[in-house]
Amino acid sequence: MKNYLLLVLCMFSFQVLFAQENISIRGTVTDASNGQPLIGAGVQVKGTTSGGQTDIDGNYTIENVPSNATLVVRYIGYLDQEIPVNNRAVINIALEVSASELEQVVVIGYGTQRKRDLTGSITSVGGEEIAKQPNLNPLSSLQGKVAGLTVVNSGQAGASPTIRIRGVNSTNNTNPLYVVDGIFQTNIDYLNPADIESMEVLRDPSSIAIFGLQGGNGVIVVTTKRAARGETRVNFQSTVGVQRVQKKIDVTDAAGFRQLYDQQLSNLGAAPFDYTNYTGNTNWQDLIFRDALITTNNLSISNSGEKTTTMVSLGYNNQEGVLKYDKHERFILRLNQEIRVTDKIKVGADLNGFHYNQQPAAANLNNALWAAPIVPVQTDATTYYAMPSFQRAQVGNPIATLNRNTGNVIDKGYRIVGSVFAEINFLNDFTFRSAGYANLGYNSIRRYNPLPFTELIVGENGQPNETFFNPLVRTSVGQEQAENRRFQQDHTLTYSKTINEKHFVTALAGFTTLFTADSRIVGNRQDTLLNIPRNPSFWYLDIVDQSTPVLTNEGRGNESALMSYFGRINYAYNDRYLLNLTIRRDASSNIAPNNRAGTFGSVGLGWVMSDEAFFENIKGIDFLKLRASWGTVGSALGIRNNIFRPGVTIANRAVFGDNVNTSIAPAYVPDPNLRWEVVRGIDLGLEMRSFNNRLTSEIVFYDRTTKDIITDLRLPGTAGDFTYTTNLGEISNKGVEISLAWSDNIGSDFFYSFAPNVSYNKNKVESIGPSFDFSILGNGGINRTITGESIGHFFGYRQTGIYQTAADLDNRASWPNSLPGDIAYEDVNGDGEITPADRVNLGSPFPTWNFGGAFSAGYKAFDFMVDVQGVAGNKIYTQRRTANFAALNYETNRLNAWTGPGTTNIEPILDNTRGNNYLMSSYFLEPGDYFRFRNVQVGYTFRPTGASAIGIKQLRLSISGQNIATFSRTSGYTPEAPLENPISSGADNGIYPLPAVYSFGVNATF
Amino acid sequence: MNNNKMRFLYKKIRNYGLTLALAVVASVFPACKDFLDRDPQGEYTEDTYPYPQGAGPYDQFLFAVYSELRDFDVHSLSFIAVTSIRSDDADKGSTPSDGGSNAIDMDNFPVTVNNGYANAMWEGYYNLITRTNIAIDQIQNNEAIEASPEVKVQSEAEARFMRAYAYFMLVRTYGRVPLITEVFDDPAAQSNVPQNNPAEIYAQIENDLQFAAANLPASWDPLFIGRATSGAANGMLAKVYLTQRKWSQALGAANMVIMSGQYDLSTPYDRIFREEGENSRESVFEVQATASRTFPETNGVQYAPIQGVRGAGVWNLGWGWNTPSAALAAAYEPGDPRRARTILFTSTTTEANEGLTIYGEKTPLGLPNPRYNHKVYTNPARRTAIGSQGGWWMNVRILRYADVVLMYAEAANEMGQTQEALDKLEMVRARARNGNPDILPPVTTASQTELREAIRRERRVELGMEHDRFFDLVRWGIAREALHAAGKTNFNENRDVLLPIPQNQIDISRGVLTQNPGY
């Protein structure tokens, strides 16, 4: 202890000592070409960590600089400059535009690297691009920005998008890993888009190899904002917008419904329905949607002194859902501090506090689509019409449901993510860094189940109307609490040296552990005597006496751990020949001890051709790099905790008389040899800058194969319905990614840029199991995964038309029980009849093409931006149209249903008892291609000067529209069908609409 | 401080830093193994489960089998559709379009290869079989559980009874099915076992039931009422033999039940199907279900709710499926009280006497169906007490004593033991008569053919809506005439006596399973 005190004391005096010898320097950093000040340029004292950043006017000040030191000035997109101080107090610096933005530094995991030295596929998206859009989740803003990245956005308040990097490479978990300032995360919901400095999408095996078993599906590295050095800065960003459903599903109104239901009953040979007392014409969809508010706000204050940098940021985001009364509210607090103890020692800490309030939607989309429009809504505040007898048992009054459920759930979450680190630089070239991270989450939910409303049951067939109040339903309350913990430690030793100006080496060795745990407890009680009031103050379990027999409770927990060693060498010879070697050894608690640890690695090579002597004669190309990488990575994301153990379930109860007994049955079928998936791939890339650096092009080919896929099989048929998790089969993804960027200016006032990207991915299941061959069916056999075809493709019959007449039936292949008006299917095998053998691969739910483009322009203080994006090559299954369990409202395509020979060749007869028309076929598929104007934004930037500035240095006002136009051929709310589950994706069961957002934004810096 | 001192201090700091870092790293290494050993939290595994010792160490595995009996795919919708809606006893019911083609095709054929109920039934019963195989595997191979040979044999008998029951349902429903009697080392391969012939399936069923009959107790402690007994095994065996026309063996097995002394016909017909009639002296095997306010559904079976009166408000007692057919209503002899106990005739404006439930409630006018299954009608007082209208607590009567007696009569008649057959037939009719001498006169014919007809008629009315009718028609070879007479004219005896092998299962097996003829 005494020694430590001494140490601290010494550090203090050490600093004082330096101060005596040093001077203070100030100056301005400008663009050499036009003399404009450069904001945020880094000015550093060479060989130290001290320095600062230029302010809004390009000015900088550095204290305590040794009079004989050298300054290093850096700015992205410009060439570094070194200037000896030579005892000067004022040093103005003009930077030359760099040959390319390849000088940019990207975050690569446990370190950074110059973009020009990369040998893998990493795309960086800047924080400004992310924060510009009115999204709660930063990931939503990546849509269309990165080649090879599929983002499926949801309009649901607070929902996280589904992210796929380079296709689907597993039948199980295909989510990427998120690494936020070093900590491994499975989601980044707690981040405010305005707090993000950059997001890097790492796609190829050589880039992800350093992340081990968690990174096999690709990695998104998120770096949050730090204080800019050298000044105090206050920034306020805010967007306020309104969301509106762009497109509703076309369903019939009362007249249309009557027409179609009459037609159906007559086709069924049933008596006509008595509509006498059903006088409504209700558009249920209109009643469950609303125009909803969205707002994102961020206030950040940063300060950087000589020894410390501090940043405090406060955020408040609120999204109301367009489906009543969905709502998600976030409060975000961030604090980060870095202390430079000495030139060689740096310590720092980060703290992120996050709190959300969630109110789930009380309305149900399908309910509104299914409910018959002939029914009015209500007679008074507590009496609602019941649905007609033909659907009463299955469909409730959508507005009664909405009003009964509204506000019954109080869902709050809290999350703290923090880290501390210490970094020591020694022997000039070595840096040792230790960091500890913690992520603590806590959720608390309270629920209430109110009394039902009175139902008005409309009399049919001459019966009188009657009202009904169900006396059997009792009020109940529930409480749920869950906590989760995640602890991570990283220790890395980095050696970085340039030898003889030719050899540049960075070597890294590290050790890391990750521990995650969670637990959850849920209780419910029902009051059989009293009616608990509809007031949240009462919604605690104790409001119901314990002696009431109605009580359920449950609780569970999880723990898992991961431990790894890793190393990496980056070597560049003469800036021209690049080598990257990565190795990582991982051990996971989720894998049986006998094969718990595995070693993975990658090799990357690069050749900057444009630096070669022979290239000097080649005009027009400013930079050309070829790169290739190969890697083998493990992926264990799909393994549930302890699944290698023979877990049992005691949830099934045997009943004898009125005695209830617990039982034991396997919870699943364990595979004691379960291992990680092995992802292996090569990546070939070409990066080029041409036309005086105005055009940047990048083209990448990749070929990646996942072996030993962790497959969660619901064992079919004769094996019982146990889940069996095992290593099974092999899937390949091959593709091309092309990214272009053109930027130029016309005169000095107008600049513009256009950056399109497109990617193509081909997925193929090479095999599903070495020793046997069967198929994995998803979504009740709609999706099929078999050897030789793309994963989870739609499998069914191809519609060729409608059988028009009995003669038609004789002439064409048909089912034995086909009738005129039924869908005619293609006789694929030509045997003259339709049999299950005529089913074919009808297409993939996963897009083969993803594309996006960003156009931006600036004229004087105006800026303008248009982002477009889309996908192509996939199909969407309109599963919502297959519901035939009752008489439901019809989508308007059924107005064209077959009524006799020659009426239609597409829509079958209205008769939900003809099973042949409900078989999976191309009739239920729509092309999933779409093209969307994702963002259109116009901004104006003020740079007030003088007294009118009232402290404002810069102010940008903007108006924008998101999702303002989507062109697609789908009939649903949005063409983005869920792609969450690889083996049963692409079904539209009433997908939450993705609304258009019209918003106004402010970004002010003080 | 001079420069030398500074350098010294700097060095010291550096050393501290290094030492500290090394210490951190070093401290983590010894703990590595422990760090990665993470036990399941709040969950047992087969290795950590504290198996109960003593009388019933395997009960926990067997209870998992019993629990499966209440599964939706075992004794709910698909069970009702396949065994009852397919027969001439019942129609789909509900509103015309309710249930769509899955339901309509069960009612009036052909059932398409994609029928959801056909697939659900397959999965449900194979689930049941898997659980029995797991229990047997545990009994034979789990050395962690100590048990006497007697306990082992009895527990195995219980599992094998249930396995036999499941295969009996499957073989009658699908014909050729894969016979799986063990837990596979490679579970995934289990989805690729080829089918066995019905003869092989029946051999296994008989073997299992004989073992069960020999080793199960005749009755259980009231705490375990409803567990499989030797009577249940013999009764089931009688039906298995009868289905194969093995008359003398059927007679023998039925006789074992009759001679056991555990059962009689003392329970009034009216009472058998009430809640208080569950597990009576009539009951040979029932799927046990119960409900409470806490668990109105979890410990029950969705059997009665599917068939409950489809009304509104207080008359919303269920889906209104599986309604007794006009043909069944016409099958009763004049005055047979079993007719009104089997069929709930709903109120109409013309027939004033009808529309009363056994509890005397008057059903409302305007219900979508003229008849509902009266045997699943729940006690209104029970509904109020539990706070649920559905009736998840109703047991499913799988085998009752009258069924066994009639099986005996049928076998006896086929063997020419006419008087034995007449006596047994009269036992059932006497109970139905309930002391009223004006109805259901005793059958006295000496003709084997006439008696056969009489027994078949008796089976139909005594066991109406009790899920045996379709299988009876098939084994008697009269399915076509009976179903066509009931208006189910699409029935084709070359195809529809068996369901199709579900296309889903054929797809999963990639063609190892083959389709039944005609589909």
Give the CATH number of the domain where residue B265 resides.
Answer: 1.25.40.390
B402 with B436, same domain: the answer is yes
Strands (E), A374-429: 378-380, 383-385, 409-426
pLDDT of residue A383: 95
Asked if residue B12 belongs to a domain, the reply is no
Smallest Cβ–Cβ distance between A561 and the set B38, B99, B100 belongs to B38
pLDDT of residue A13: 36
Amino acid identity, residue A779? N
B84 with B172, same domain: the answer is yes
B17·A662 Cβ contact <8 A: no
Asked if residue B368 belongs to a domain, the reply is yes
Q: Got the DSSP string for A801-826? A: EE--SHHHHHHS-B-TT--TTSEEE-
Q: Measured between alpha carbons, how far is residue B433 from residues A111, A621, B426, B450 in Å? A: 91, 104, 10, 21
Smallest Cβ–Cβ distance between B508 and the set A390, A474, A716 belongs to A716
Looking at the DSSP assignment, which residues form a beta bridge with residue B93? B321
- What is the length of chain A? 1006
Backbone φ and ψ for A433, nearest 5 degrees, come out as -130, 130
Q: Got the DSSP string for B21-60? A: HHHHHHHHGGGHHHHH--PPSS--BTTT-----SS-TTHH
B61 with B176, same domain: the answer is yes
Calculate ∠ Cα A865-A867-A872, nearest 5°. 165
Pick the residue from chain B with its C-alpha nearest to A555: B42
pLDDT(A4) > 80: no
Contacts of B55 in chain A (CB under 8 A): none
Minimum distance, in Å, between the CA of residue B319 and any CA atom of chain A = 7
Say which residue the tokens 């066994």 belong to.
B404
Q: What is the mean pLDDT of chain A?
A: 89
Looking at the DSSP assignment, which residues form a beta bridge with residue A444? A412, A481
Nearest residue to A964 via CA among A992, A928, A997, A999: A997
pLDDT(A992) > 80: yes
Amino acid identity, residue A227? A
Q: Measured between alpha carbons, how far is residue B148 from residues A199, A554, A637, B55 in Å? A: 66, 36, 45, 9
Say which residue the tokens 């290869």 belong to.
B113
The DSSP letter of residue B395 is P
Is the CB of residue B34 less than 8 Å away from at least one CB of chain A?
no
B390 with B407, same domain: the answer is no
pLDDT of residue A8: 37
Pair of tokens at residue B456: 């078949």
B403 with B365, same domain: the answer is no
Asked if residue B36 belongs to a domain, the reply is no
Q: What is the rounded average pLDDT of the residues A296-303? A: 94
Is the CB of residue B17 less than 8 Å away from at least one CB of chain A?
yes
Q: Which CATH class is domain A20-98?
A: mainly beta
- Nearest-angstrom CA–CA distance, A262 and A259: 5
Is the CB of residue B105 less than 8 Å away from at least one CB of chain A?
yes
Q: What is the 3-state secondary structure (H, E, C) of A76-142?
A: CCECCEEEECCCCCECCEEECECCCHHHCEEECCCCEEEHHHCCCCEEEEEHHHHHCCCCCCHHHHH
Asked if residue B87 belongs to a domain, the reply is yes
Mind listing the pLDDT tens digit for each residue in B352-371?
Answer: 557 899 999 999 888 889 99
pLDDT(A2) > 60: no
- Nearest-angstrom CA–CA distance, A137 and A217: 20
Pair of tokens at residue B1: 């401080």
At residue A922, the 3 state secondary structure works out as helix
Pair of tokens at residue A710: 């962790």
What's the number of domains chain B is made of?
3
B174 with B95, same domain: the answer is yes
Asked if residue B26 belongs to a domain, the reply is no
pLDDT(B189) > 80: no
Q: What is the mean pLDDT of chain B?
A: 90
Contact B211, B157 (CB under 8 A): yes
- Nearest-angstrom CA–CA distance, B235 and B402: 11
* Sign of the alpha-carbon torsion through A767, A770, A771, A777: negative
Q: Measured between alpha carbons, how far is residue A839 from residues A713, A765, A795, A912 in Å? A: 23, 19, 6, 22
Asked if residue B351 belongs to a domain, the reply is yes
Asked if residue B451 belongs to a domain, the reply is yes
Domain finish residue from B346, B379, B394: B394
- Nearest-angstrom CA–CA distance, B197 and B176: 5
B390 with B422, same domain: the answer is no
Q: With bands split at pLDDT 50, 70 and 90, how would you rate the model's confidence at B258? A: very high
Highest mean pLDDT among A54-68, A653-667, A766-780: A653-667
B130·A596 Cβ contact <8 A: no
Mind listing the pLDDT tens digit for each residue in A718-760?
Answer: 777 777 888 888 999 999 999 999 988 888 789 999 999 999 9
Percent of chain A with pLDDT over 90: 61
Cis peptide before B110 (omega within 30 of 0): yes
Percent of chain A with pLDDT over 70: 95
CB atoms within 10 A of CB B112: 23
Mind listing the pLDDT tens digit for each residue in A581-633?
Answer: 999 999 999 888 888 888 999 999 999 999 888 888 888 888 999 999 999 99
- Nearest-angstrom CA–CA distance, A792 and A847: 12
pLDDT of residue A54: 82
Chain B 440-479, CB below 8 Å of chain A: which residues?
none
Domain finish residue from B394, B428, B456: B394
Is the CB of residue A750 less than 8 Å away from at least one CB of chain B?
no
pLDDT(B321) > 90: yes
Nearest residue to A679 via CA among A735, A738, A601: A601
Q: How many CA atoms lie within 13 A of B373 on its CB side?
A: 34
Contact A910, A858 (CB under 8 A): no
Is the CB of residue B268 less than 8 Å away from at least one CB of chain A?
no
Asked if residue B39 belongs to a domain, the reply is no
- Nearest-angstrom CA–CA distance, A480 and B280: 43
Q: What is the rounded average pLDDT of the residues B202-208? A: 98
Residue-wise burial string across A669-708, b where 16 or more C-beta atoms lie within 10 A, e elsewhere = bbbeebbbbbbbbbbbbebbbbeebebbebebebebbbbb
Percent of chain B with pLDDT over 70: 91
Range of the domain at B186: 55-196+203-212+489-519
Strands (E), B207-361: 283-287, 321-324, 343-345
Alpha-carbon Rg for chain A, nearest whole angstrom, is 32
- Nearest-angstrom CA–CA distance, B480 and B473: 8
Contact B238, B404 (CB under 8 A): yes
Highest mean pLDDT among A334-343, A637-646, A739-748, B250-259: B250-259
pLDDT(A795) > 50: yes
- Nearest-angstrom CA–CA distance, B288 and B310: 24
Q: What is the rounded average pLDDT of the residues A548-567? A: 86
Q: Got the DSSP string for A629-669? A: EEEEEEE-TTPPTTTTS-BEE---EEEETTEEEE--EESSB
Please state which of the ranges A646-655, A990-999, B23-32, B264-273 shows the lowest mean pLDDT: B23-32
Going by DSSP bridges, is the β-strand pair A659-662/A653-656 parallel, antiparallel, or unpaired? antiparallel
B180 with B68, same domain: the answer is yes
For B290, residues 6+ apart whose C-beta sits below 8 A from its C-beta are A655, A657, A658, A659, A660, B299, B300, B393
pLDDT of residue A933: 95
Q: Measured between alpha carbons, how far is residue B105 from residues A598, A658, B116, B484 in Å? A: 54, 37, 11, 15
- Nearest-angstrom CA–CA distance, B122 and B116: 10
The DSSP letter of residue B174 is H
Q: What is the rounded average pLDDT of the residues B489-518? A: 91
pLDDT of residue A33: 65
Contacts of A457 in chain B (CB under 8 A): 312-313
Amino acid identity, residue A127? G
Mind listing the pLDDT tens digit for each residue in A836-876?
Answer: 899 999 999 999 999 999 999 999 889 999 999 999 999 99
Residue-wise burial string across A928-959, b where 16 or more C-beta atoms lie within 10 A, e elsewhere = bbbbbbbbbbebeeeeeeeeeeeeebbbbebe
H/E run at residue A356: strand A345-359
- Does pTM surpass 0.90? no
Going by DSSP bridges, is the β-strand pair A51-53/A454-457 parallel, antiparallel, or unpaired? unpaired
Please state which of the ranges A87-91, A415-419, A850-854 shows the lowest mean pLDDT: A87-91
pLDDT of residue B413: 97
pLDDT of residue A738: 96
B83 with B174, same domain: the answer is yes
Amino acid identity, residue A55? D
Q: What is the rounded average pLDDT of the residues B329-335? A: 95
Domain layout of chain A by residue ranges: 20-98, 103-234
Domain finish residue from B394, B421, B450: B394
Among A383, A427, A467, A718, the strongest candidate for a mutation testing the B interface, having the largest count of B CBs within 10 A, is A718
pLDDT of residue B455: 97
Contact A702, A204 (CB under 8 A): yes
Calculate ∠ Cα B405-B406-B407, nearest 5°. 90
B90 with B161, same domain: the answer is yes
Q: Could you tell me the CATH superfamily of domain A103-234?
A: TonB-dependent receptor, plug domain (2.170.130.10)
pLDDT(A357) > 80: yes
Q: With bands split at pLDDT 50, 70 and 90, how would you rate the model's confidence at A77? A: low
B79 with B148, same domain: the answer is yes
Contact A229, A42 (CB under 8 A): yes
For the packed helices B418-433 and B448-462, what is the interaxial angle rounded to 10 degrees?
30
Contacts 24+ apart (CB under 8 A), B180-187: B180/A718, B180/B126, B180/B129, B180/B130, B180/B133, B181/B133, B181/B136, B182/B133, B182/B136, B182/B137, B183/B130, B183/B133, B183/B134, B183/B137, B184/A719, B186/A771, B187/A669, B187/A715, B187/A719, B187/A722, B187/A724
Pair of tokens at residue B249: 């063996």
pLDDT of residue A202: 94
Q: With bands split at pLDDT 50, 70 and 90, how would you rate the model's confidence at A3? A: very low
Minimum distance, in Å, between the CA of residue A649 and any CA atom of chain B = 8
At residue B515, the 3 state secondary structure works out as coil
Among B508, B512, B516, B519, the strongest candidate for a mutation testing the A interface, having the largest count of A CBs within 10 A, is B508
Region for A702 from its dihedrals, namely left if φ exceeds 0, alpha if ψ lies in -120 to 50, beta otherwise:
beta
Nearest residue to A307 via CA among A11, A60, A7, A80: A11
Smallest Cβ–Cβ distance between A657 and the set B10, B104, B222 belongs to B222
B410 with B279, same domain: the answer is yes
